[in-house]
Amino acid sequence: MNSRWSARSRRLLFILAVLAIGGTAMLGFAQSPSATAEKASPPMQQFVLLFRPGPRPLSEADLKKRADAVLVWAQLQNEQGRKLDPRTLGKERLWIAPDSVNDQVAPADVGSLGNLLFLEARDYAEAVEIARSHPGLHFGTSVEVRAWSRPAGAASLR
């Protein structure tokens, strides 16, 4: 890395580069809003962005461009209180259908899910706006937006 980058910048760049190409990390540097802002704005809701890579592999140059763009995007989102929490799925996968005799790779129409990004937004419309701003879209990645919550009774499983 270039010496002009601070240790925090290098760490963040590494995390986001790994996330962009299929690694896993947590971004835990979100700023917490002030007590006044919490009272004035409605509570944030939980969403997940589901990333599916495009059909063509990216060149090393494109991977770097995407990683750099994701770094800038993630910093902006966290500065706005999104509390980004990314996950990357492993390469091994098995599709188990309800009455399947043989386990198999997921059918072609399901798509390959590569990364998950949990975040907070005011509502679904804002979560969609955030997803539409993700730099991965310019590199062939598709993004699905979903609200999420814990299943009923999940607290008793701990």
Longest dimension (CA), the chain: 58
Distance, CA of 78 to CA of 121 (rounded, Å): 11
The residue among 140 and 4 whose pLDDT is bigger is 140
State both tokens at 85: 């929490």
* pLDDT score of 30 more than 50: no
pLDDT of residue 112 exceeding 80, the answer is: yes
| Tokens read off for 76 | 């902006």
What value does the mean pLDDT take over residues 16-31? 43
Show me where the domains of the chain are located: 42-92+109-149
Sign of the Cα torsion 125, 87, 64, 10 reads positive
Mean pLDDT of 148-156: 81
- Identify which has the larger pLDDT, 54 or 32: 54
- For residue 47 the two structure tokens come to 């969403």
Whether 51 has a pLDDT exceeding 50, the answer reads yes
Whether the pLDDT of residue 11 is over 60: the answer is no
Quick: pLDDT tens for 55-78: 889 999 999 999 999 999 999 999
Digit-coded pLDDT (tens) for 114-131: 899 999 999 999 999 999
Residue the block writes with tokens 């990357």: 88
Give the position of tokens 């996950």.
87
CATH class of 42-92+109-149: alpha beta
Alpha helical stretches, state H, 58-150: 60-79, 124-132
Q: Rounded CA gap, 5 and 7, in Å?
A: 7
Q: In what order do the strands lie in the sheet containing 85-88? A: 85-88, 115-121, 45-52, 142-147
Burial status of residue 112 (CB atoms within 10 A of its CB: 0-12, 13-18, 19 or more): middle
Structure tokens at 16: 């986001």
